Amino acid sequence: MTPGLLFTQNGSAVNRNEIPEHSGERFLETLVSAIQGGWRVVSYFGAPEAHLVRLYCILSFKSHAALGIMSTAVSGKSFPSLVAEAPQLHLFEREIAEQFGISFEGHPWLKPVRFAAPLASTSAVPPRAPEKVGVMDFYRVAGDEVHEVAVGPVHAGIIEPGHFRFQCFGEEVLHLEISLGYQHRGVERMVLGRPGLRTLKCMETVAGDTTIGHGTAYAMAMEALCGVRVPAKAEAIRGIALELERLANHTGDLGAIAGDVGYLPTASFCGRIRGDFLNMSAELCGSRFGRGLVTPGGVQFDVGRELAEKLRKRIDVARREVTNAVDLLWDSPSVMGRLEGTGVVSEKDALDLGLVGPAARASGLNRDIRRDHPFGIYNVAQLPVETAKGGDVYARTLVRWLEIEKSLHFIEEQLAQLPGGSIASPAAQVGGDQMALSLVEGWRGEVCHVALTDGRGELERYKITDPSFHNWSGLAMALRGGQISDFPLCNKSFNLSYCGFDL
């Protein structure tokens, strides 16, 4: 284990004064040696303090289910960049630079991330106006036959806004640069102060398709701050809802992947079956996206024997239908021909970039928060982690399918053995001067929430890291050397969140 870190566990809170404060040099040394020793950066962010910025780094070491925290104070205008040693930090450093005006020396290209106004200004860095969204220097490839394709922010379908620049040589993509920020609503700034119902609603809508994922991560952070224990039944219901969310999104995406290769049967069937899973979430709590289900302390809706039985029957039907629909893919050589070898992200690139979720597992990385840092129901009920080798669209499709099978089984098991008792613990006082840390394996991957409270128990800084934050670079990498016409297909296989990134 690495010295210099405060060790903690998923879903727990620590006193802020226990977090090791290092000099800048020691902080960087510790970070580098931790990464070399197999630790992975979960979150790296700044928080304003009087006249300075405090940087916090949260690391994960999966085989011990350990999380490590350390901090350093930056009082000047700049701080050394570690991107050359640890590419997984590149966006985190850009984000800190944008939010606090700190320049990272040695960073290859400190561009804006969300084109947002600074979170805080310190004495070393005067306040500045935000830059105009999407206006920046893009990486360009020069050459007679090289051309540039610019797409967005408004796209052809009903999807979120982003801007994509392809540097192409004929059909071949030499480089893709993705510029986001259009969905920036200022969530992290909005939730500061005393946490309340509004905070919960903002968390549920960080990324609408990950309502349960983000809602649970927020609830876990609050429970850690309050020292509240969640009843067993509530943990089981949360698990069921989280897996239903995974099922709906994976099924929808498998349909969308089929649609993008022009294979309409699976596209049509999965588009409908996705709705069946959403309707099961609505049976739980009235909302197809799980709104209002998770609350700090537990859940707001109980699942009785009758509802459990009804859901089990519907899961059974959905399993038969989704299996029937997806099996067509594996049996169609023309579909396989389009998926195999398309949009490859090598294991090394996935590791270097710090990918998470199904995208990482499809590149052979064996990481899953449900097993590595178990939380809630996953402490007692394990789900097998599915990985694949190829790192291509096929591997990402396959991993999604294998996860669908496991989630269906998990939900059936949980519905059959729902514990009794209450579904929520009473609210309690939020602890002051604490840092709470929670990780949830959402359907897209690792959702990380970090809450820092001041002496009165009010949120002083709230840092959300959506899996998309780790994975957008993976999509850009998948396009390298590929065909520009494969972009929609690669994009669907990742299906990343714009709003979860833009925050």
- Supply the minimum distance, in Å, between the C-beta of residue 494 and another protein: 14
Distance CA 480, CA 486 (A): 11
Of 114-122, 220-228, 368-376, 460-468, the segment contacting another protein by CB under 8 A is: 114-122
Binding mask 82-101 for another protein (x = CB under 8 A): --------------------
Q: Does 463 bind another protein (CB under 8 A)?
A: no
Rank residues 135 and 416 by Cβ distance to another protein and give the closer one.
135
- Supply the minimum distance, in Å, between the C-beta of residue 68 and another protein: 32
Q: Is the dihedral of CA 368, 267, 161, 208 positive or negative?
A: negative
Distance CA 119, CA 503 (A): 13
Q: Does 284 bind another protein (CB under 8 A)?
A: yes
- Considering only 175, 291, 370, 470, the residue that binds another protein (CB under 8 A) is 291
Rank residues 183 and 216 by Cβ distance to another protein and give the closer one.
183
SS (H, E, C) 209-271: HHHHHHHHHHHHHHHHHHCCCCCHHHHHHHHHHHHHHHHHHHHHHHHHHHHHCCCHHHHHHHH
Q: Does 80 bind another protein (CB under 8 A)?
A: no
- Supply the minimum distance, in Å, between the C-beta of residue 37 and another protein: 37
- Supply the minimum distance, in Å, between the C-beta of residue 251 and another protein: 12
* DSSP 8-class letter at 106: T
Of 272-280, 419-427, 443-451, 478-486, the segment contacting another protein by CB under 8 A is: 272-280
DSSP assignments along 325-381, one per residue: HHHHHHT-HHHHHHHTTSS---HHHHHHHT--HHHHHHTT----HHHHS--GGGGTS
In the block, which residue shows the tokens 């609503």?
185
Q: Does 184 bind another protein (CB under 8 A)?
A: yes
Q: Does 374 bind another protein (CB under 8 A)?
A: no
Distance CA 77, CA 452 (A): 24
Calculate the alpha carbon distances from 362 to 3, 249, 494 in Å.
Answer: 32, 17, 10
Q: Does 121 bind another protein (CB under 8 A)?
A: no
* Amino acid at residue number 113: V
Query: Residues in the chain, how many?
Result: 503
Q: Does 198 bind another protein (CB under 8 A)?
A: yes
Binding mask 299-318 for another protein (x = CB under 8 A): -xx-----------------
- Considering only 8, 72, 211, 216, the residue that binds another protein (CB under 8 A) is 211
Please answer whether residues 476 and 494 qualify as being in contact, where contact means their C-beta atoms are separated by less than 8 angstroms.
no
- Supply the minimum distance, in Å, between the C-beta of residue 62 and another protein: 30
- Supply the minimum distance, in Å, between the C-beta of residue 108 and another protein: 25
Rank residues 32 and 159 by Cβ distance to another protein and give the closer one.
159
Q: Which of residues 122-161 bind another protein (CB under 8 A)?
A: 133, 153-154, 156-161
- Considering only 64, 147, 194, 201, the residue that binds another protein (CB under 8 A) is 201
- Supply the minimum distance, in Å, between the C-beta of residue 207 and another protein: 6
Tell whether omega for the bond before 488 is within 30 degrees of 0, i.e. cis.
no
Distance CA 447, CA 214 (A): 7
Calculate the alpha carbon distances from 462 to 58, 126, 438 in Å.
Answer: 14, 23, 12
Rank residues 83 and 236 by Cβ distance to another protein and give the closer one.
236
Instruction: Identify which of 388, 386, 422, 371 has the alpha carbon closest to the alpha carbon of residue 10.
Output: 371
- Considering only 328, 381, 428, 484, the residue that binds another protein (CB under 8 A) is 328
Instruction: Identify which of 396, 400, 374 has the alpha carbon closest to the alpha carbon of residue 474.
Output: 396
Phi-psi region of 262 (alpha: psi -120 to 50; beta: other; left: phi over 0): left
Rank residues 87 and 208 by Cβ distance to another protein and give the closer one.
208
- Considering only 80, 265, 431, 432, the residue that binds another protein (CB under 8 A) is 265
Of 6-14, 286-294, 343-351, 484-492, the segment contacting another protein by CB under 8 A is: 286-294
Of 80-88, 197-205, 347-355, 450-458, the segment contacting another protein by CB under 8 A is: 197-205
Q: Is the dihedral of CA 360, 436, 454, 194 positive or negative?
A: positive
Of 237-245, 271-279, 402-410, 449-457, the segment contacting another protein by CB under 8 A is: 271-279
- Considering only 85, 172, 283, 412, the residue that binds another protein (CB under 8 A) is 283
- Residue 221, judged by CB atoms within 10 A of its CB (0-12, 13-18, 19+), counts as buried
- Supply the minimum distance, in Å, between the C-beta of residue 312 and another protein: 16
E strands, 16-92, in order: 21-22, 40-49, 52-61, 66-74, 78-80
- Supply the minimum distance, in Å, between the C-beta of residue 332 and another protein: 8
Calculate the alpha carbon distances from 221 to 180, 203, 267 in Å.
Answer: 27, 12, 38
Binding mask 225-254 for another protein (x = CB under 8 A): ---------------------------x--
Please answer whether residues 488 and 267 qualify as being in contact, where contact means their C-beta atoms are separated by less than 8 angstroms.
no
- Supply the minimum distance, in Å, between the C-beta of residue 135 and another protein: 11
Buried residues in 36-68 as b, exposed as e (16+ CB within 10 A): eeebbbbbbbbbbbeebbbbbbbbbbbeeebbb
Q: Does 406 bind another protein (CB under 8 A)?
A: no
Structure tokens of 422?
A: 């209450």
Residues that bind another protein (CB under 8 A): 115-117, 133, 153-154, 156-161, 181-187, 189-190, 196-198, 200-202, 204-209, 211, 252, 265, 268-269, 271-272, 274-275, 279, 282-289, 291-292, 300-301, 321, 324-325, 327-328, 331-332, 497-499
